[in-house]
Amino acid sequence: MTRPVDIEVRSLHKSYRLRKRRSVIAGDLLRLLTLRRLEYKSNEALSDLSFDVYRGECFGIIGPNGSGKSTLLRILSGVTKPSSGTVRFGGSVGALLELGAGFHSEMSGRENIYLGASLHGLTHRQIRAAEEEIVAFSELGDFIDEPIFTYSSGMLVRLGFSIAIAIKPDILVLDEVLAVGDESFRHKSFKAIKEVRESGKTVVLVSHDANQVAAFCDRAMLLSRGKSILLADASTAIRFYLQTTEGAGSTHYLECGALSVAVKQGRTLLFYQGRPITKGYGIYSSMLSASGWMDVLDGTWQTERLDNKSLRSTKAIDYLSMSLTWTVRVLSETEVAVELTAHLEKPLGVDRYHASILLDPAYTKWSTQDATGKFPAIEIASYEWVHVNSKPLHSAWIEGSADQASALPEVRFSVTADSGEFAPTVLNTDYQLGSRVLQLLRRNTDPTGTWPPGTRTLFEGRVRIRLP
Amino acid sequence: MAASLSQYRTLLYQLTRREFKARYSSARLGIAWAVLNPLLMMVILSVVFSVFVRIDTGGTPYPLFVLNGLCLWQFFRSTVAATTSCIVDDRDLFRRVAFPRSLVPLSIVLSNLLNLLLTFPFLFFLMAVYERPLHLTVLLVPLNLVVLALLATGVGLITSATTVFYRDMRYMIEPLLLVLFYGSPILYPLSAVPAALRPIYGLNPLVGILRFQYEALLGGRLESLCLWAVSCSGAAVALVCGAWLYRRYAGLFVDML
């Protein structure tokens, strides 16, 4: 049985045109007269977005700042038009982008009820019918006939929300308006929105507050850089969002179908249908040099190039006179390439380095070219390394597979042939991060133990998933 | 979004009310300014142009002559000036709510029209003071006001939409209005314009409207209907252009705010 769709969004694009120079009207007129196109540079805020919102559900839209949430909200509410693509509604839409839109401070609360409600498309008769209900809900009492410049900000918000809830559209689009007023009014507005939902109306809630979305929504969509990264049930989407955004710095998401790739400050996290494959640092690397262990997680990475399929970031490590470049590239729906290069300004003594992938504890088995084994249960204070293959290999790989019940894909971590010889290594339990560690380790085989200045590729590998 | 006529009507009424209230509610004299403003202008101009510089108005007392033109001019000027920046000034409203965009400039026209109507009793009072008879042609004055309002609406729609994309329009509009002010028979009668210039001069749509107003209210005989036809056409062209601009670009206003 298919559920009725209340909002159908197809191939939605929205780009903002920014004029390259602050143009003078005369210059543009000249261009128009000579039939030349005006020069614009466009900034894509939403690209190729398609989704359905079903009747009667609460649909959450989450994402970091600048992800396109507000643009989508404006299109859904009709404030602006998409550049291309379609949005179809199965009923009337009421949108609350901000409370108290159009209020006039010299006018009384009651007059502003009429103004505000008429802006949302209510007729005089409808407003008159709802007037007393609005006044009562706002708890403003005698203040309702005072000019609203005498109101406190809390009173304004109460008035705005009371009007909003009285509009009663078929589809309600809300923008983080729940966090308003004092505790008791907030409770009351929560209840009012719950009632809207229970009456079978469709609600779209846009928020960067994951808890709000978790509390209200059935399903949620995560937006990043104008694209839908994940559309799943709300709790999965929220967990995904929180796991990929914790800690400082911004998270970049790469587009990859059922597999989601999130890159944040030297760690690369993989998710399958919103559920984590990796845990903790995800894919990362560290190096043992003359100055001790250097971890890629230390310090700050600068994003050098970012598009929908790849990310390259760099980091300078001053005390080693070295800089690292970390590239993550989506090759297909099941394969991701990672590459780590180092640029040395001075010779550097290096003993060994590794690239590792930290898997979720749901992964219980590992295998390499010539060995297989099982992970024991993760226990506190137990580090148990298993050197599964002491002999370094060309084209080394290591693989983890999960319980059948978990329905997580197999993960194979491999190095390309010309990356040199790596020894697959397994860390059975990592109690701190609660993860399984699959590692590819390379020792410096140079007799001097020193790398000359210049650029060298440390590691070029692939992570491939095989669907269960 | 399909909106019914009564939704439009309610919203237009509310926006007009807001516009009108916004103008006078904070002033102590309130709505009296609607009349006081053209009145003060009339006094100043009358002193300048009947004491310092003499302008021959063909027997019509200068205060009456200038107030007649000034009322209409003030309406046109304040309407166009206010609509030009209305979208940019009210950006919060435009960014937050989806509603028919053209209702904001329309509400400005209506509120200014109300303002203009308030000055008419004084105009009639002044005519009584100067013992000028009322002619039957006075019945055509409302029609003239409609044409003027349509012209102001059309121009306002064009300038407000243009301002969204070219903020320079805000600054250009004042000098343009000044040119229009001196290019219209407000301070001086039409007879002061050299005959050779009349064909070009008459292309200003305000000329026909101002002349019609003078003839209907103070002359009693409509002699310049050709000029008035130009005004009507001008109003129609401005209205069509303005409506087209809104139809095509109103959905993108918010992106430029």
Give the residue from chain A lying closest to B101, CA to CA.
A79
Check residue A33 and give its pLDDT: 61
> B92 and A101: CB-CB below 8 Å?
yes
**For position A382, what pLDDT does the model report?**
62
pLDDT by residue (tens digit) across B191-231? Answer: 888 989 988 998 999 999 999 999 998 887 888 888 999 99
Q: B interface toward A at CB cutoff 8 Å?
A: 1, 3-4, 6-7, 9-11, 13-15, 17-18, 21-22, 25-26, 92-99, 166, 168-169, 172, 251-255
pLDDT, one tens digit per residue, over B123-145 is: 899 899 988 888 888 899 999 99
pLDDT at position B160 = 93
Residue B235 predicted with pLDDT over 90: yes
Which residue did the predictor score with more confidence, B16 or A255? B16
Please give the distance of CA A33 from its chain centroid, rounded to a whole number.
45
What pLDDT is attached to residue B174?
Answer: 92
Q: What is the pLDDT of residue B1?
A: 43
Question: How far B74 CA sits from the closest chain A CA (Å)?
Answer: 25
d(CA A247, CA A230): 20
State residue B105's pLDDT score: 93
Instruction: Using the predicted structure, report yes or no on whether residue B118 has a pLDDT greater than 70.
Output: yes
Amino acid symbol at B203 = L
**What gap in Å lies between CA B97 and CA A121, rounded to an integer?**
10
pLDDT the model gives residue B210: 93
Residue A432: per-residue pLDDT: 66
d(CA A158, CA A134): 10
pLDDT of residue A389: 60
Q: List, in sequence order, the alpha helices (H) in A143-260.
A: 153-167, 183-198, 210-216, 234-245
Which residues of chain A make contact with B22, given a CB cutoff of 8 A?
104, 106
Which amino acid is it at A267? Answer: R
Reported ipTM: the value is 0.84
Higher per-residue pLDDT: B36 or B157: B157
Phi, psi of B177 (to 5 degrees): -65, -35
Which residues are CB-neighbours of B87 under 8 A, at least 6 positions away? B94, B101, B104, B160, B161, B163, B164, B253, B257
C-beta separation of A97 from A73 below 8 A? yes
Residue pLDDT, tens place only, B57-98: 878 888 889 888 999 999 999 999 999 989 988 888 888 888
| Residue A20 confidence (pLDDT) | 53
Look up the pTM and report it: 0.76
Query: Which pLDDT belongs to residue A195?
Result: 84
Mean pLDDT of chain B, nearest integer: 88
Q: What is the pLDDT of residue A91?
A: 79
* Tokens linked to B57: 């108005």
Asked whether the beta carbons of A293 and A286 are under 8 A apart, the reply is: yes
pLDDT at A37: 56
B167 pLDDT higher than 80: yes
Q: Out of A16, A79, A81, whose CB is closest to B95?
A: A79
**Per-residue pLDDT at A159:** 85
Partners of A58 in the β-ladder: A203
> What pLDDT sits at residue A38?
55
- At residue A179, the pLDDT reads 59
Q: Is the pLDDT of residue B177 over 90?
A: yes
pLDDT in the model for residue A92: 78
Which residues, given as ranges, of chain A have pLDDT below 70? Answer: 1, 18-42, 97-101, 177-181, 248, 379-390, 428-432, 468
Q: Which of B4, B10, B26 to mutate to test the interface with A (most CBs of A within 10 A)?
A: B10
Higher pLDDT, B101 or A93: B101
Q: Would you state the pLDDT for residue B236?
A: 96
Identity at B163, one-letter amino acid code: T
